[in-house]
Chains A and B, each alone.
Chain A
Amino acid sequence: MDALVLQYVMNWLVLGCIYALVALGFSLLFGVLNVIHFSHGDVVIVAPFVVLAVLQGLVAAMPAATAGALALALAAAILAVGILGVIADWLVIRRFRRAPAMMALVATVALGTVVRELIRMFYPQGSNPKPFPRLIEAQVALGGVTVPVFSLLAIAVSVAMMGLLFAMMRFTPLGLRIRAVAEDRATARLMAIRPGRIFAATFFVASAVGAIGAILFASYAGAVRFDFGIQLGLIGFSGAVIGGLGSMLGAILGSLLIAGIDVLVQATMAEGASYRLVFAFLLVILVLVLKPSGLLGRPAIEKV
């Protein structure tokens, strides 16, 4: 393959996979709770900050252990953001379970502002961008070009996470319960499933998966800033919606599509870069006009 094309393809896959990890959270939450958690992007972007904080703390404490420190920091961040998602639900989102969808949307937009501002004000020098370490610096030769191992890692981690998520939903008791609640809340309750716990679990899983996406995002970009979550969230949301909310495969497909058009436009058009958002969101409109429930969403045949 042409070296340039390979670069583009790698770029596309890494971005698509990262967006997909965020989109999966949207889709999962919508499937189970029928709720749009617009602050999802802002919640998950906390993860890279936790990584940095923990790393800093550990390096200060014992300057030697770096690899172990990194692993510890990553685990802490994923866990913390998972819990943060549960807290966001508990504090705000659960209050809008029965309210019209738009209220939850607006409330979570406000929640996003709150999370963002909290990072900005309470993380040291929170307004400034923070350099974020590349998890792996090595490069390998692949098809005539050198490719960062990180890119391969990012794709592998993402695919693994997707696989894990699928397996969890399909084969574990928790997954079965989540699907039962998604299908029919009342019946699930009759089967002694407590929806409240399932909601919490779903928020935890969605946020933790998103946290991995956010860490990869920060690492791929090379930095993190308190407001990076907005665009990450918006693109993840778009990916989930055009894929068809509630469909995990759709979320992945939608994210790959958005990342694809983004890279394609920038790679081929002379002034494409300045129109990258225009094309990405025109694609969103086009998909939804043609497939009103998203690519893999269940068509809305209403029962009468």
Chain B
Amino acid sequence: MAAAAPARAATLADRAIVAAGEAGGALILGLFLLAEDWRLITAVLVLCGAGFALLELRPAIEERIVAAFRRAPATALVLGAAIVLAYPFGMQGNSYALHLLVIALLYAVLALALNFQLGSANIPNFATGASYGIGAYASALLALEFGVSFWLTLPVAAAVATVFGFLLGFPSMRTRDTYLALVTIAFGIVVHQLLNNFDWTGGPNGLVGIPAPSILGHSFARPIVILGQRVPAQANFYYLALALVALAILAARRLHNSRVGLAWNALRGDELAARCQGIDVVWYKMLAFAVDAFLAAFAGSVYAAYVSYISPDNFTFLVSVTIMTMVIVGGMDNSFGVIVGAFLLTLLPEKLRIFSDYRLLFVGVVVILFLVLRPQGLFPQRPRSYGAS
């Protein structure tokens, strides 16, 4: 008898809710991406705000939607995959919208990476930006200095960053909370300063002319043409980043629903009690740092190849704080929430360009409002279910 709570078969209503949810989400996102008029952008934002207010006031609605997704996972997966794969073709050739999507997806990977730590294990880490940078630099240097193919630099860069992640995790053996937070802040600053000061990293000028990857002779710098439909070159990286997000989600799910995820959750809840259950907290903390660095490095490699130029300014303390904010605003230990957080905080500042000077001010105010009004995050953690699948 290992059944989880709701194991009913999916009803037609469930499927309808799933379809409506996914299509609606895609539509709102598209509208937001393509909108140029400040009134429309404000309208979409107000709409989203109203939506969350509704969920806050009527938790039953949220429960119903979640239940529907749980009962109709196949529908959700197939429809979701179809939507995200076809998405670039719905952007009307708008390369700016595609660019925003690529950046948002990369930040989603970074936020998912940090979520292993911050969400699952409640270990503060203000150095995800540094791992992101280490990955980007490792990958770019390999490509530029040794002509290594992008696909090969990916795992190597990830390995390099993972080593640094373990190193950073080392102090976590003894330091905790605010003290550990400062260690990671310091690490991030040191990495940024060193990238800026060394000669072989290109100094403040960074690295120029990082080649775009290619696959089967198709360079990622060229537009995609399928059935006469032409989408801008950014779509290549959209799919690459998408694959990375899918990978990150898969890893997050598997780890979350395993002994490892439980151990992280345990040391989040009560480190001392966790130790008494036989959990080697030092190992699990360092592991969390390593996993974070590993995934962040992937995002870094893709970013370097996408923009073809990196400099230390891409990997500042502020970037780490932004990633941290994405996880907390999105909802700790909830992959979907974290992705929403990443999209929100990537797109919001871009879309607030219309408010020009007030942009940063608005972003700051919005973040504070989110934290105050929905402290558990947009999509809070949900209990595990056992034996359902």
Contact = CB atoms under 8 A, between A and B. Distances in A.
Direct contact, A vs B (beta carbon within 8 Å):
yes
Interface of A: 30, 36, 92, 95-96, 99-103, 105-107, 109-114, 117-118, 121, 234, 237-238, 241-242, 245, 274-275, 277-278, 281-282, 284-285, 288-289, 292-294, 300, 302, 304
Max chain B C-beta neighbours (<10 A), residue from A109, A245, A302: A109
Interface in B173-196: 174-183, 185-187, 189-190, 193-194
A288 B367 contact: no
A288 B193 contact: no
A171 B330 CA distance: 46
Given A103-B328, A113-B360, A121-B358, A92 B186 contact: no
Contact of A282 (B170, B177, B179, B186): B186
A106 B321 contact: yes
Nearest to B168: A285
A304 B189 contact: no
Contact of A281 (B189, B321, B328, B357): B189
Interface string B356-375: 01101101110110011001
Contact of A107 (B175, B182, B360, B368): B368
B136 to A, nearest CB: 20
B190 A281 contact: yes
B175 A281 contact: no
Given A110-B363, A241-B178, 10 more contacts: A106-B328, A121-B357, A242-B182, A245-B178, A277-B190, A285-B183, A288-B171, A289-B174, A289-B183, A292-B179
B193 A96 contact: no
B272 interface: yes
A278 B272 CA distance: 34
Contacts of A237: 182
Nearest to A275: B197
Contacts of A278: 189-190, 193-194, 197
Nearest to A35: B178
Contact of B363 (A92, A113, A302): A113
Given A237-B182, A294-B179, A300-B176, A117 B171 contact: no
Contact of B367 (A30, A100, A110, A238): A110
A289 B170 CA distance: 9
Given A102-B124, A238-B186, A288-B171, A92 B194 contact: no
Max chain A C-beta neighbours (<10 A), residue from B187, B189, B358, B365: B189
Contacts of A274: 197
A234 B193 CA distance: 15
Given A92-B372, A288-B175, A114 B324 contact: no
Nearest to A109: B321
Nearest to B118: A102
A129 B185 CA distance: 27
A238 B321 CA distance: 17
Chain B interface bracket (under 10, 10 to 19, 20 to 34, 35 or more): 35 or more
Contact of A117 (B175, B180, B360): B360
Given A102-B122, A238-B186, A288 B375 contact: no
A39 B240 CA distance: 38
Interface string B107-144: 00000000000100010100000000000000000000
Contacts, number: 125
A155 to B, nearest CB: 26
A113 B325 CA distance: 13
B361 A118 contact: yes
Interface of B: 118, 122, 124, 170-171, 174-183, 185-187, 189-190, 193-194, 197, 272, 321, 324-325, 328, 357-358, 360-361, 363-365, 367-368, 371-372, 375
B113 to A, nearest CB: 16
Max chain A C-beta neighbours (<10 A), residue from B186, B272, B357: B186
A274 B325 CA distance: 30
Max chain B C-beta neighbours (<10 A), residue from A96, A102, A241: A102
Given A105-B124, A237-B182, A275-B197, A110 B325 contact: yes
A242 B189 CA distance: 16
A88 to B, nearest CB: 11
A102 B179 contact: no
A106 B328 CA distance: 8
A112 B189 CA distance: 18
Contacts of B358: 117, 121
B371 A107 contact: yes
Nearest to A115: B364
B193 to A, nearest CB: 5
B182 A92 contact: no
Nearest to B189: A281
Given A109-B321, A113-B363, A278-B197, A103 B178 contact: no
17 contacts: A92-B372, A96-B371, A96-B375, A106-B321, A107-B371, A114-B361, A114-B365, A117-B358, A238-B182, A245-B178, A278-B189, A285-B187, A288-B175, A288-B183, A289-B175, A292-B174, A304-B272
A102 B181 contact: yes
Given A102-B181, A275-B197, A117 B187 contact: no
Contacts of B193: 275, 277-278, 281
Q: Which 9 A-B pairs have the closest CB atoms?
A: A281-B186, A113-B364, A292-B174, A114-B364, A110-B367, A117-B361, A292-B175, A284-B186, A110-B364
Given A106-B324, A106-B325, A304-B272, A241 B179 contact: yes
A121 B363 CA distance: 15
Contacts of A30: 178
A277 B181 CA distance: 17
Contacts of B179: 241, 245, 288, 292-294
Nearest to A91: B368
A27 to B, nearest CB: 11
Contacts of A100: 122
A114 B368 CA distance: 10
Contact of B181 (A105, A282, A293): A105
